[in-house]
Amino acid sequence: MEFRNRDRHLQILNQHYERRQASLMVVYGRRRIGKTVLLRHWIENQLSGQHLLWTAHRSTSDVLLAGFSEAVATVTPGVHTQVRFANWPALFEQLFKLAADRRLVVVIDEFPYLVECAPEIPSLLQKLWDKHKDKSRIFLILCGSHFHMMHEQFASQQKPLYGRVTESLVLDEIAPEDLSLFLPRYSPEQIVETYSVIGGVPAYLELWDDRHPVFKNIDERILSGRTFFSQEATLLIQDELAEPRTYLAILEAMGANRCAPAELARKTGIAINHMGKYLRTLLDLRFIRRILSEDVKHRTQTRMSRYENSRSVSPIPFPVCLSACRLGGAKEALAARRDRPHKL
C-alpha cells in the first residue's frame, strides 16, 4: 500500500509535536477511514523522536496491562521487555515520568477497547494529566473509531477527560477531487461514477482496481456473492451498536426511500415512541440523514421529519447491499443500469 493524501493531518501532527508542552490529541473517524495508517505513516516517515504505538483489543484488563507493559519497556532505558506493571496507575505514572525531560509520543490505538476492559482509565488519565501536564512533555494520542464512545468520553462535561484535549483530529472520507490519487488511471467520469458507488473511504478505494472499468469492479467486488462489501454495512453496525438487529431493521426498512418515523415504526414493528431514540443514534453516527420539509416550523418537530440512508454508512446504498444482494436481483439491476450509465 502506498500512502496517499492526508497532508493537512500530517501537518497538524507535526505542529503538535513541535510544541514543548504536554499534548493530548484525540484521533477519530469511522472504521476503515485510515486512522492507524496515518499514525503509522507519520511515525515511520516523519517523526525522529521516541515513540510507542500500542493497540488495545477486546480482552481482559490484565491481558491488556501485560501487553502495554511490554510496549512501555521498549522506551524505558535499561529495562528488559518482560517487565510487567502491577496496575494501570503504575504504568501511566511511568509514562509521564519518561516524558519528564524529553518529547515522548504515546499512541493508544483502539482506545475504546481499553476503556471497555478497564473503565477506570479515563479518570486515571484525568488525574495524572492534571498532576503532570505543566512539567511533562508527553504527546499522548488516543485513537478510536467508536464514534459514540469517543465523542462521549471527550465532549461530555460529565466525563473526566472533558476539557483536557488539546487537539481533535477527525478523519473524513477522501474528497472527490483527491480520488484520482487512489485511482490514477481513471477518467474524471469514472472517478465520479466510482465516488457515487463507494464514496471516499480509503479502504474501499484500495480494493477498487482502476485497470478495469467501473462496472466490472461493481460486478466483481460488490455483487459476486459474499464479498467484503456485501458484509461491510452489517459489520460496521454490529461493531458500533449494542442492539444491531434493531438498527439494521430500521435501515433495511428505510431502503432507498425517505421515510417518516411512523412509516418506519409500522414497517419494523418498533413502537413509535421508541423510534426517536433509535433515529437520533443513527443520526449521531451519520448513518442516516434527516430531511426537514419547508413547512416545518421548529427543528424539534422530529416526527414531521423524514429520514434517509446516508451513503457513507455503507460503501454502497443499503438497498443494494442488504436487499438486492440477498434477493439476487442485483445482477439484473446492474445490467439494466449498464445500458443507462448516466443514471448510475
Ligand X SMILES: Nc1ncnc2c1ncn2[C@@H]1O[C@H](COP(=O)(O)OP(=O)(O)OP(=O)(O)O)[C@@H](O)[C@H]1O
Could you tell me how far CA 180 lies from the centroid of its own chain?
A: 22
State the nearest-atom distance from the C-beta of 56 to Mg ion, in Å: 11
Point out the residue whose Cβ comes nearest to ligand X.
Answer: 34
Instruction: For residue 216, count CB atoms less than 10 angstroms from its CB and return exposed for 0-12, middle for 13-18, buried for 19 or more.
Output: exposed
State the nearest-atom distance from the C-beta of 112 to Mg ion, in Å: 11
Q: List the single partner that 137 binds among ligand X, Mg ion, none, CB under 5 to 8 Å by kind.
A: none
How is residue 210 annotated by DSSP? T
Question: Please, which residue, 107 or 251, has the CB nearer to Mg ion?
Answer: 107
Tell me: does residue 86 bind ligand X (CB under 6 A). Answer: no
User: CA 50 to CA 319: how far, in whole Å?
Assistant: 48
User: CA 14 to CA 39: how far, in whole Å?
Assistant: 11
Cell readout for 182 is 487512489
Tell me: does residue 3 bind ligand X (CB under 6 A). Answer: yes
State the nearest-atom distance from the C-beta of 143 to ligand X, in Å: 7
- Count of all residues that appear for the chain in the document: 344
CA angle, 262 then 265 then 270, to 5°? 150
Question: Interface residues for ligand X in 195-254 (CB under 6 A)?
Answer: 202-203, 206
State the nearest-atom distance from the C-beta of 201 to ligand X, in Å: 8
Question: Please, which residue, 70 or 178, has the CB nearer to ligand X?
Answer: 178
Question: Please, which residue, 29 or 261, has the CB nearer to Mg ion?
Answer: 29
Q: Of residues 3, 12, 16, 36, which one binds Mg ion by CB under 5 A?
A: 36
State the nearest-atom distance from the C-beta of 80 to ligand X, in Å: 30
Given a contact cutoff of 8 angstroms between Cβ atoms, the answer to whether 118 and 88 are in contact is yes
- Which of 175, 320, 186 lies closest to 255, judged by CA? 320
Residues that bind ligand X (CB under 6 A): 1, 3-6, 29, 31-37, 145, 202-203, 206
